[in-house]
Chain A
């Protein structure tokens, strides 16, 4: 909870207003029964002047109460919203600073839950806090004192009731927060099974694992159900127990007043206000309990947020000016293991590419082509060895320089939702219409974009679902070339294009991006046959490095791939 203090401090003014208004509200609430008592006495005596005078006061008090309540709600909401927004912004910028591996550690969906669900919990507790936190103790103490003043003789009834009510609450709130902790755990378990199942849904289906999976899920789900039911049972006991205790206290109080009515007749008129105060004490305790439960839930959420905040990005970029570098690439004995894996995915890789060259990478699926490309873009750092771009170790390059130098078209990339031009401007802020057209021409995308009613301002839906596979790839390539990068990596980026369009893209790249180093990862040898240099990958190693003619002549792995592909084409 302490983490919240600096955030609340930014909204100090609103916070003070919320607290002051709540004090006014408590004052109005507490004073009402007293005034009512005076009015009742006056009515009994038939004292019209007092009735009128006190009646006005009573109405005034009610109005003050209402206004204070409204003001309190508004300003509490201000503070809560402000704190939540700032916290979310900080969390977001923290996540932005994360390396790719850090995001994978939490998983993207988990981070989203923390940014939405958990922050909402915090927002609710801040709101409730400013509405209740000063109100509960004030109301509690105030009602207690006033009840004492009203019937001093019955202090022990009050104390007795309070001991029982507080005892019951502490006991069940304690148990309840245990249960809430368990719930959180159970929800995570349910999530894990569901997620595993989702990821491997094809495997599950093709191996007819459904009954097993349902059994497994039922087990974790039942646990969650049982804890939820237990929480419900506890809540079920609370309310009746509170009200019964309070009403027993009322009955005892009246009984005592009855026994002593001949010696203390004045207490008769005080019964109603005494009961009011008893109920106010009770409500203070009930609200306090709810606040405690909400606080313990929010505390769990704060912990989850704190965990993200406390993570230091596993990759640091040097600060510095945007230094332009050339398009050379150099790998020097690079090995890499994915975080959490035991065996390296890339083993002792060395090669060089001169600026402006085209380099092809081929190899079986899982041989490490994508991984190698990710290292050039510094999505991960290698375990050992050095990667240089433009002759500079990429660990010594400021992030901005690296991003401007290397454009990476992902194997399965999608656009952000928005418009086409917004996506392009994310890469190149000041892209003009002509530049967009130029890029789209290279990617063979201009034809279909210009047929859209809004052309470059056409909407892009989530996961680019309003575009076909081939259109998505063309758009991704457009985005890749828009900033005219020194190095362009195309990871299987033309797989959904027909042979003719693919050829047109390559010709355009050759012509318009002549000085750009292009790294083309492809399944089909025909896509990279013209490359200046081809790397053949096999199980994380580079087993061949040369142009097509050299490799066909002397590389076994390459020959194998080439033979099978040619045979397949022959069949067609």
Chain B
């Protein structure tokens, strides 16, 4: 068991293609949280309602960046919209992305219009920017507020299927490749959606707690508890689906399992079995479970929840890695495995990935300077 086709020695999809579904997952998950508030009126989530919407938007802005870094000919990227081949699952990307971006921009506009107006009434460059964003219309009364709310709610509703599409389609992209036994499963679509929701909720909890800590705000405890419950529930579904997929192949003991079992044992033992499941799924599962079922002291509970959320962020990243890279380690000759270790400084290396991942947080910080994303934050005048 040591043969790979010679062209397989170079792994084609690397760090950037791990990062891309990771970021779109955060988008989809954060958006679902904002929609829980805007569409399904989970009012306890008010504290993070705007923040989650803004997070979804900012992550979405950066989602194509890893793809562009990966493309051999990034200057031709628009070919995907100019000459789409609709037989390809990938061809939908440009259209789904644009549609979703449009919905998000509009929703933010309607949800945050009041704040933009407030800011636009001040002086200075930012106020001018806000006036530009508002297209010069600073008028506001009960009627406009009600209309804004209605439209925002509608857009939030339309956004849910789009968010699922944007991210589920990434799962489909992998799941529909019959050449690769590790990817080729219809479950991939669903697995990606649920893991996306997990990562989205996790990033909100993680980020909200850090921001509150830095600013000395008191956390909105009911909001945190509600998010914890959702996170626990969705992570159970996500992990159960992931396990279901592997266990069913393992149990059926098909020809595929011979090579996939070996892939898990020989190549993914640490990153998949130990880290993804035993450490980064099991521990958060317990931490969140305890907090959902028992009422601990706030301080202790928050610490546990923050650790669990942070670990789940890593868990989803590991899952993306194990899917994207893991799938390419098996030779299509079914006779062996190749190896891959990411570089740090290369074009698609870890340093660039870290930079790309940090950018959305910086933009969110700027965003918050223009219009406050948290109820606690007072707008600057």
A, B from the same assembly: no
